[in-house]
Amino acid sequence: MPPKPHRVLLDRVSGYADEAAAYMRRRRIQRQPFARLYYAGGRATEHPADSTVGAELFVAAGAVIDLTGKGRRA
The answer to whether residue 65 scores a pLDDT higher than 70 is yes
Q: What gap in Å lies between CA 44 and CA 55, rounded to an integer?
A: 17
Residues 6+ apart with CB under 8 A from 47: 34, 35, 36, 37, 53, 54, 57
Asked if 31 and 8 touch (Cβ cutoff 8 Å), the reply is: no
3-class secondary-structure state, position 46: strand
Residues 6-63 have pLDDT tens digits of 677 777 788 888 888 888 777 766 677 888 889 999 999 988 888 999 999 999 998 9
Res. 74: pLDDT tops 60: no
